[in-house]
Amino acid sequence: MAVRYRALRGTRDILPDEALRWQRLEAATRAVFSRYGFGEIRTPVFESTELFTRSVGTSTDIVRKEMYTLTVGDESITLRPEATAPVARAVVEHALHRGIAQGYPERLFYIGPMFRHERPQKGRQRQFHQIGAEVLGAPEALADAETIEMVWTLLAEVGIEDRELRLNSVGDEGTRTAYRAALTSWLTPHLPAMCDDCKRRAVENPLRVFDCKVEADQRLLAGAPKLLDHLTGEAAAHFDEVRRHLDGYGIPYVIDPRLVRGLDYYVRTVFEITSTGLGAQNALLGGGRYDGLVGALGGPAVPGFGFAAGMERLVMTMPEGQAAEARADVSLVALGAPGFQASIAMARRLRAQGLSVASPLSERPLGAQMKRAEKAGARYAVFVGESELARGLYGMKDLATGEQVDRDEAGIVSEASR
Ligand code: HAM
């Protein structure tokens, strides 16, 4: 039996009709982000494995079990599971922080595929795509709030109204040492009843117990001490200011004291925006502040704030647009051999005038060509046969109304460009 190849589990093809929705999302992203001064960065799809283990953290699920890592020659490389660490690497490598030192934060955005070996389900894939934005060199709380406001605006622009902003502060490194001690002493008597993963997390990095998906554990953890009650004065003031700015923008939010996010580099503000329509994987996007990351990667002390949104989840949540846009303006219908010959050059001339043209690749019966015109989503069928060529006038049929008029080539261009 012949082998039938299929896209691998957790990956999928995006076909032209669906791709139109992706293009709409990408166009809106570029338009909105450029209004906020963000420039695009494109980093490689693979990086050194160490870049991710050092930044995302060795006790996170991503690094422990989800990375696509391979050894090529004597190099260990990993398909990027996220792009914040690569962006931080690029900032150091290209000394973008020099500009930052003069007081200009660097605002970067990216759109592209990421890879995590997770169990696929609705809204969760192994190759998925993110839209992300990172602000480097801005310690101010306004950078947090303005970036959140930007993505809030993007969601509105693509018609996603069903959204909830969840906000927390995970404090500063100093805060976390004190909190870790409080959490560990609370955990000790509860651990025997908790899952094996939590037992391991309690030793390696207690904060990660909040990643636990086991319901009984989650119920227990509701009674755990809260990070928010352990913030330093500075971290608490930063958080208050972020909230004040969000209030000023009129963006509603809920405080979620158990929101810690699945990556280790965060300090202070963390946030997610969820949507009820998504089901279990309900996070449209998430992010936060990572003031220590650039330094940890060997760069100067450059603070950072950013987020990433899952494009599959955005596309799933976006309302249906207007009827799928017509993909061709004109479909040429060739009548007989001379018509077919003439249609080859005519298609080229019309395309040069900016029209989108579907044209026959061989002589075909009229019926088959009309079906092709329909399939191409063409607005007009234009008939090219011997008598049309002799007159220089072609039948131009509006496929929606069925109305037909005679037009010369210039007339076809002006009518179809309207
Ligand atoms: P993250 O929460 O790991 O954060 O991912 C951000 C978003 O990517 C999620 O909210 C979700 O929409 C989407 N996503 C993650 N994993 C999958 C998957 N397996 N399938 C489909 N969608 C997925 C980060 O990646 C951070 N780098 C965000 C950030 C940027 N923080 C600061 N700057």
- From residue 73, how far is each of 50, 69, 79, 333 by CA, in Å? 16, 13, 16, 56
Q: What is the mean pLDDT of residues 128-157?
A: 97
Distance 300 CA to ligand 1 centre (A): 26
pLDDT for res 301: 92
Ligand 1 centroid to 307 CA: how many Å? Answer: 8
Give the three-class secondary structure for 340: helix
Helix axes 336-352, 409-417, angle to 10 degrees: 50
Contact 110, 290 (CB under 8 A): no
Ligand 1 pocket: which of 65, 114, 130 to mutate (most atoms within 8 A of CB): 130
Exposed/middle/buried for 262, CB within 10 Å: 0-12, 13-18, 19+? middle
Give mean pLDDT, residues 11-32. 95
pLDDT at 98: 81
The pLDDT of 15-26, averaged and rounded, is 93
For domain 326-416, say whether CATH 3.40.50.800 is its number.
Answer: yes
pLDDT at 325 (0 to 100): 60
Give the span between the Cα atoms of 237 and 249, in whole angstroms.
19
- Pairing between β-strand 404-407 and β-strand 394-398 as defined by DSSP bridges: antiparallel
What integer best gives the mean pLDDT of the chain? 94
Cα end-to-end span (Å), the chain: 52
For atom 3 of ligand 1, the residue with the nearest CA is 262
Is it the case that residue 322 has pLDDT exceeding 70?
A: no
User: Which pLDDT score, from 0 to 100, does residue 176 have?
Assistant: 83
CA distances (Å), origin 167, targets 36, 233, 251, 260, 273: 22, 18, 12, 10, 9
Nearest CA to ligand 1 atom 21: 124
On the question of pLDDT at 1 being above 70, the answer is no
Res 175: pLDDT: 80
How many angstroms is it from 259 CA to the middle of ligand 1?
Answer: 14
DSSP per-residue codes, 88-126: HHHHHHTTTHHHHHTT--EEEEEEEEEE-----BTTB-S
C-alpha span between 355 and 350 (Å, rounded): 6
Nearest CA to ligand 1 atom 14: 310
Tell me what percent of the residues of the chain surpass a pLDDT of 70: 98
pLDDT digits (tens, 9 = 90+) for 249-287: 999 999 999 898 989 999 999 999 999 988 888 999 999
Residues with CB under 6 A from ligand 1: 82, 84, 116, 118, 123-125, 128, 130, 132, 134, 262-263, 283-288, 290, 306-310, 312-313
The Cα–Cα gap between 327 and 345 comes to 21
Instruction: Evaluate if residue 403 carries a pLDDT over 80.
Output: yes
CA separation for the pair 278, 281 (Å, rounded)? 6
d(CA 287, CA 308): 6
Query: pLDDT over 90 for what percent of the chain?
Result: 84
Domain positions in the chain: 16-172+232-321, 326-416
Q: Which of 128, 131, 289 has the most ligand 1 atoms within 8 A of CB, as the residue to mutate? A: 128
Q: Which amino acid is at 414?
A: S
Q: What is the pLDDT of residue 235?
A: 95
pLDDT, one tens digit per residue, over 190-248 is 999 999 999 999 999 898 999 898 999 999 999 999 989 889 999 999 999 999 999 99
Q: What is the pLDDT of residue 376?
A: 86
> Which atom of ligand 1 lies closest to the CA of 309?
7
278 compared with 174, residue with greater pLDDT: 278
Asked if 329 and 378 touch (Cβ cutoff 8 Å), the reply is: yes
Confidence of residue 120 (pLDDT cuts 50, 70, 90): very high
* Helical ranges in 115-208 per DSSP H: 141-157, 173-190, 196-204
Enclosing H/E stretch for 374: helix 366-375
- Residue 49 has phi, psi (to 5 degrees) of -55, -40
| pLDDT level of residue 331 (50, 70, 90 thresholds) | very high
Q: Indicate the length of the chain as a whole number.
A: 418
CATH architecture of 16-172+232-321: 2-Layer Sandwich (3.30)
